[in-house]
């Protein structure tokens, strides 16, 4: 795999969250979709915290199909 470009300092980013960082670092070509969904779930919980009235929903059903993850308030 080609080397990735230098990334910004992870402080104050979702990558500073240890669980998110470990999952990102484990990603490999061919991983199932749920590996990335778990990472997004972690990120959405950080951006949309339950303490502020948000809920992150998996498989939110909408008129035209299903949204993999959504955050609502």
Angle at 46 between CA 6 and CA 31, to 5 degrees: 60
pLDDT given at position 51: 94
For the chain, what are the domain ranges? 14-72
Mapping DSSP to helix (H, G, I), strand (E, B) and coil, where does residue 41 land? helix
Backbone dihedral region of 17: left (phi > 0), alpha (psi from -120 to 50 degrees) or beta?
beta
pLDDT digits (tens, 9 = 90+) for 26-71: 999 988 887 888 888 888 888 889 999 998 877 777 788 877 767 7
Strand partners, 62: 65
**Are 53 and 73 in contact, with CB atoms under 8 Å apart?**
yes
Strands (E), the chain: 55-62, 65-72
């Amino acid at each position: 795999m080609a080397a990735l470009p230098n990334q910004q300092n992870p402080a104050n980013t979702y990558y500073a969250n240890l669980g998110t960082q470990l999952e990102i670092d484990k990603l490999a070509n061919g991983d199932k979709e749920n590996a990335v969904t778990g990472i997004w779930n972690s990120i959405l919980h950080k951006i949309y915290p339950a303490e502020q009235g948000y809920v992150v929903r998996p498989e939110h059903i909408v008129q035209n199909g299903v949204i993999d993850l959504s955050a609502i308030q």
